[in-house]
């Protein structure tokens, strides 16, 4: 970066929800999921390069607002994200997010981006990355328990990255299943809907849970588990919110993203402090074996971690620049003298006055 402040005008790249939707439409959702998954794999393989911490959460009676920071030697990133299960009453998503990617050397925010759509992509990509490392080969049938906003992304990730071709669907909200079934069938995917979780998970290779209610639920119980299953627990992502009965976690090895965070937010919060878990990066790097037999049950207790957002922000930034779809915003004032912040106010006022005078002159001439 040029360090001559006289020559630098900071224009922060900006990706709106509309621009990200355009990127997804033009690049293809499957390609976007695959691209984010590749970034996640790459970043997890350099796990120790990152300054990591659990997210900072502010809980209320109706939801949670969180900040998720992470950094390496070059870039700092954070995501602002909420979780409000009752937002449907206001025609708002349960999860909404935006994020920033900044330059560590200067602190300049290089990218401000929506992360609501992007979070759905990165969550699905993370699930697929974990399943490729932990599930049996040739998985073809997955149960999707919870058919809300995340469910289509999960289905596409597992279809395109693992070859799953049939999806068993269940949600207590039949309208959500109607929506998911219609969307998946439109994309040519096979679906079967069921009247209960118990029925939906019979005979499947993978169970994915993506429910929204912030309760200590037991959506998956030990009697539902069959030899060789991979369980992808996505919905348990904050203190007091679970999806798996504690005994399900005892059915096989449990894997997570960042143990200090997962211990307090994931289904693992039900377990004692000495309950053994394995961070996924150690499997991806070959330091630890994942699945050890075809009949083994594996559990990925996913809560979402800031490194995944870092990976997704990098992907969206690079693709937007490549496709010429990036916009810029003036987020940082341009200062000819960086020690004279006060002077920017006067300079901006003078510029505004000149613009106003110019407009008045044009109006009078007309």
Q: Phi and psi dihedrals of 97, rounded to 5?
A: -155, 155
Q: Which two tokens stand for residue 72?
A: 């390496």
Backbone φ and ψ of 214, nearest 5° = -90, 70
Provide φ and ψ at 65, rounded to 5°.
-120, 130
Strand (E) positions, 21-105? Answer: 51-52, 56-59, 64-71, 75-83, 97-103
Instruction: Give yes or no for a contact between 227 and 252, defined as CB atoms under 8 angstroms apart.
Output: no
What are the structure tokens assigned to 111, written together? 């990218």
Vertex 117 angle, CA 111 and 123, to 5° = 100
**Could you tell me whether strands 97-103 and 109-114 are parallel, antiparallel, or unpaired per DSSP bridges?**
antiparallel
Q: Among all chains, which residue has been given the structure tokens 């200062």?
A: 335
DSSP assignment of 189-220 equals -EEEE-SSHHHHTTT-SEEEE-----SEEEEE
User: Treating both helix axes as pointing N-terminal to C-terminal, what angle do 174-186 and 151-162 enclose, rounded to 10 degrees?
Assistant: 40
Instruction: Choose the catalytic residue: 43, 171, 205, 237.
Output: 237
Of the candidates 243, 297, 304, the one whose C-alpha atom is nearest the C-alpha of residue 268 is: 243
Three-class SS state of 233:
strand
**Residue 40 has which token pair?**
């996640």
Select from 249, 246, 265 the least CA-distant residue to 257: 265
Helix or strand or coil: residue 360?
Answer: helix
Q: Within a 13 Å sphere around the CA of 253, how many CA atoms are in the beta-carbon half?
A: 17
Which DSSP state fits 238?
B
Task: Let me know if 49 is a catalytic residue.
Answer: no
Tokens read off for 204 = 């499947």
Pair 219, 244: CB distance under 8 Å: yes
- Known catalytic residues are 237
């Amino acid at each position: 970066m040029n360090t001559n402040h006289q020559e630098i005008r900071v224009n922060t790249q900006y990706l709106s929800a509309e621009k990200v939707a355009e990127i997804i439409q033009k690049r293809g959702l499957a390609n976007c999921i695959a691209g984010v998954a590749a970034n996640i794999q790459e970043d997890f393989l350099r796990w120790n390069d990152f300054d990591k911490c659990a997210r900072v959460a502010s809980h209320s009676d109706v939801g949670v607002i969180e900040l998720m920071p992470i950094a390496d030697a070059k870039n700092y990133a954070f995501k602002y994200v909420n979780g409000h299960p009752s937002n449907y009453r206001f025609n708002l998503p349960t999860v909404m997010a935006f994020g920033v990617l900044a330059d560590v050397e200067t602190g300049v925010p290089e990218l401000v981006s929506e992360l609501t759509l992007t979070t759905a992509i990165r969550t699905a990509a993370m699930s697929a990355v974990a399943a490729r490392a932990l599930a049996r080969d040739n998985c073809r049938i997955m149960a999707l328990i919870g058919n809300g906003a995340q469910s289509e992304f999960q289905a596409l990730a597992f279809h395109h990255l693992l070859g799953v071709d049939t999806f068993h669907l269940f949600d207590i909200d039949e309208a959500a299943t109607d929506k998911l079934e219609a969307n998946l069938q439109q994309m040519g995917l096979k679906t079967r809907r069921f009247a209960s979780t118990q029925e939906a998970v019979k005979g499947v290779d993978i169970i994915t849970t993506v429910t929204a209610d912030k309760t200590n639920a037991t959506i998956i119980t030990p009697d539902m588990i069959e030899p060789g299953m991979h369980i992808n627990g996505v919905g348990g992502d904050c203190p007091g919110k679970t999806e798996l009965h504690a005994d399900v976690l005892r059915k096989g090895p449990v894997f997570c993203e960042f143990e200090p965070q997962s211990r307090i937010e994931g289904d693992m919060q039900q377990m004692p402090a000495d309950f053994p878990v394995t961070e996924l990066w150690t499997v991806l790097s070959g330091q630890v074996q994942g699945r050890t037999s075809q009949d083994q049950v594996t559990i990925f207790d996913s809560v979402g971690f800031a490194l995944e957002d870092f990976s997704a922000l990098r992907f969206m930034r690079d693709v937007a620049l490549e496709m010429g779809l990036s916009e810029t915003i003036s987020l940082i004032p341009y200062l000819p003298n960086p020690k004279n912040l006060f002077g920017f106010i006067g300079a901006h006022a003078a510029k505004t006055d000149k613009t106003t005078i110019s407009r008045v002159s044009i109006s009078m001439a007309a």
